[in-house]
Amino acid sequence: MRPPRGTTGGTTGEIPDGQALADRFRNAFGHAPEGIWSAPGRVNLIGEHTDYNDGFVLPFAIDRSTRVAVRRRQDRRVRVLSTFDSSTPVSADTSGLRPDDVSGWSAYPLGVVWSMLQAGVDVPGMDMLFDSNVPVGAGLSSSAAIECAAAVAVNELAGAALSSSELVLIGQRAENDVVGAPTGIMDQSASLLGAAGSAVFLDCQSQHAELVPLDLAGTGLVAQIIDTKVSHSHATGGYADRRASCERGAAELGLSSLRGLPPSGLAQAEGVLDEETFRRVRHVVTENERVQRTCQVLATQGPSAIGELLDASHLSMRDDFEISCPELDLAVDVARNLGAIGARMTGGGFGGSAIALTPVDRVDAVHDAVVDAFGHASFEVPDLFTVQPAEGARRVS
């Protein structure tokens, strides 16, 4: 049977197999790698901008990943190279590595090395070659995939034996202190803890995680990603601004985080906060409820019954949190009109992707209608592809 359009997906190409990556490593560095590690990107099913508010999230790791081939060196130099950037390695010395010294994509792996050093890990010198088929800037955590691939590789080669929860914080620290994006722990948690056929329910206050079965195929549904091609950066602008609003709202309510505000407290909060801050707070409080409700509905009725929760999440992000954009709204509307059972923007917002849960026999129709609608609106040509809940970070050879 012909797969639905975009099933193998995207314009980013196939990730080379382990042998091809090892060959490229040998060509670049003159010796064979010791091993290859892999970490996936993620899509968030529901629970947006709740992670840094000590709330709940429900992402899943996807079948798009970053791989890194690594060999330890005798000296203290770390050389990082990628197949998606320049052909010259970026080199740093572990004894003098400082956050200000790194920039560009190498801030992700070198940020992890720095973060490991800060945690007291004796990081050896290494040569590292990265490859990835997670689309960049699409809201699918290409950055967390790089960080987590680096983190699991360094953890093993340094003999550090850090737990997955500790590696999540290593990755987050790289992102916050080296890359400069004030993000939470959702992306690294999904990449490190994901499992095939499951979503990861995470309580970001306790870091307690549970795998939640997400049998989309068994229900005739497909997770269809609509990459609007509107690129975003969480190191600048809106993301940090929303985080600041949430922190201000919590402080004005006398709370250490918005996790402390139950839905029943919203009416009183409305009298205390200014109108805009109240809407930001309302998004977070209601989104936490939607995540918990989604888990309950998945357990009792399965994926075909969560569509309304996804739709409500999108409206809350569009109207209360104001992180959507015309392209994302159009993608969501068209997908819903053509038969998706639920759709929402996913990730940090201001661009990136939407996720639609689409019946398998409607995937082509949604694909064509979204491409047409974007054409009529004179938006850039979107990229549509499907993803599956996949395994988390691990050594692959």
- Which are the catalytic amino acids? 187
Taking contact as CB under 6 A, which single stretch among the options 33-41, 179-187, 257-265, 314-322 is the one that binds ligand GLA? 179-187
- Please state, in angstroms and rounded to a whole number, the distance separating the CA atoms of residues 225 and 234: 20
For the CB of residue 143, give the shortest distance to ligand GLA in the complex, in Å: 8
Question: Binding residues for ligand GLA, how many (CB under 6 A)?
Answer: 12
For the CB of residue 372, give the shortest distance to ligand GLA in the complex, in Å: 29
Q: Could you say whether residue 321 binds ligand GLA (CB under 6 A)?
A: no
Q: Could you say whether residue 183 binds ligand GLA (CB under 6 A)?
A: yes
Q: Which is nearer to ligand GLA, 51 or 227 (CB)?
A: 51
Q: Could you say whether residue 52 binds ligand GLA (CB under 6 A)?
A: yes
Matching residue, tokens 């004179």: 378
Q: Which is nearer to ligand GLA, 35 or 238 (CB)?
A: 238
Tokens of 21: 């990556």
For the CB of residue 87, give the shortest distance to ligand GLA in the complex, in Å: 29
Residues 229-268, one symbol each (x = binds ligand GLA by CB under 6 A, - = not), give -----x----------------------------------
Taking contact as CB under 6 A, which single stretch among the options 45-53, 122-130, 189-197, 386-394 is the one that binds ligand GLA? 45-53
CB contact at 8 A, 202 and 57? yes
For the CB of residue 51, give the shortest distance to ligand GLA in the complex, in Å: 5
Q: Which is nearer to ligand GLA, 79 or 234 (CB)?
A: 234
Angle between helices 326-337 and 363-376 (to 10 degrees): 140
Taking contact as CB under 6 A, which single stretch among the options 27-35, 43-51, 78-86, 297-305 is the one that binds ligand GLA? 43-51
Q: How far apart are the first and last CA of the chain?
A: 32
For the CB of residue 311, give the shortest distance to ligand GLA in the complex, in Å: 17
Q: Could you say whether residue 348 binds ligand GLA (CB under 6 A)?
A: yes
- Exposure string (b/e) for 94-122, b if CB count within 10 Å is 16 or more? beebebeebeebbbbbbbbbbbbbeeebe
Cα torsion angle, 75, 178, 69, 131, sign: negative
* Partners of residue 127 on adjacent β-strands: 71, 79
Q: Which is nearer to ligand GLA, 138 or 297 (CB)?
A: 138
Tokens of 5: 């359009």
Q: Looking at this protein, which amino acid is placed at residue 142? A: S
Tell me whether strands 221-227 and 383-387 are parallel, antiparallel or unpaired: antiparallel
Beta strands in the chain (DSSP E): 35-46, 56-72, 77-82, 90-93, 126-132, 198-203, 208-213, 221-227, 342-346, 353-359, 383-387, 394-395
Taking contact as CB under 6 A, which single stretch among the options 14-22, 107-115, 181-189, 309-317 is the one that binds ligand GLA? 181-189
> Could you tell me how far CA 77 lies from the centroid of its own chain?
29
Q: Which is nearer to ligand GLA, 147 or 364 (CB)?
A: 147
Taking contact as CB under 6 A, which single stretch among the options 9-17, 23-31, 84-92, 178-186 is the one that binds ligand GLA? 178-186
* Partners of residue 356 on adjacent β-strands: 224, 343
Cβ–Cβ contacts within 10 Å for residue 321, how many? 23
Q: Could you say whether residue 147 binds ligand GLA (CB under 6 A)?
A: no
- Please state, in angstroms and rounded to a whole number, the distance separating the CA atoms of residues 162 and 148: 13
Contacts to ligand GLA from residues 185-204, by CB under 6 A: 186-187
In the list 49, 314, 344, 367, the residue contacting ligand GLA (rule: CB under 6 A) is 49
Residue 15 DSSP code: P
Q: Which is nearer to ligand GLA, 4 or 40 (CB)?
A: 40
Taking contact as CB under 6 A, which single stretch among the options 17-25, 111-119, 184-192, 262-270 is the one that binds ligand GLA? 184-192
Q: Which is nearer to ligand GLA, 51 or 364 (CB)?
A: 51
Q: Which is nearer to ligand GLA, 78 or 178 (CB)?
A: 178
Cα–Cα distance list, 182 to 67, 135, 177, 234, 237 (Å): 25, 21, 8, 7, 11
Cα–Cα distance list, 219 to 15, 215, 216 (Å): 29, 7, 5
Binding site for ligand GLA (CB under 6 A): 44, 48-49, 51-52, 183-184, 186-187, 234, 347-348
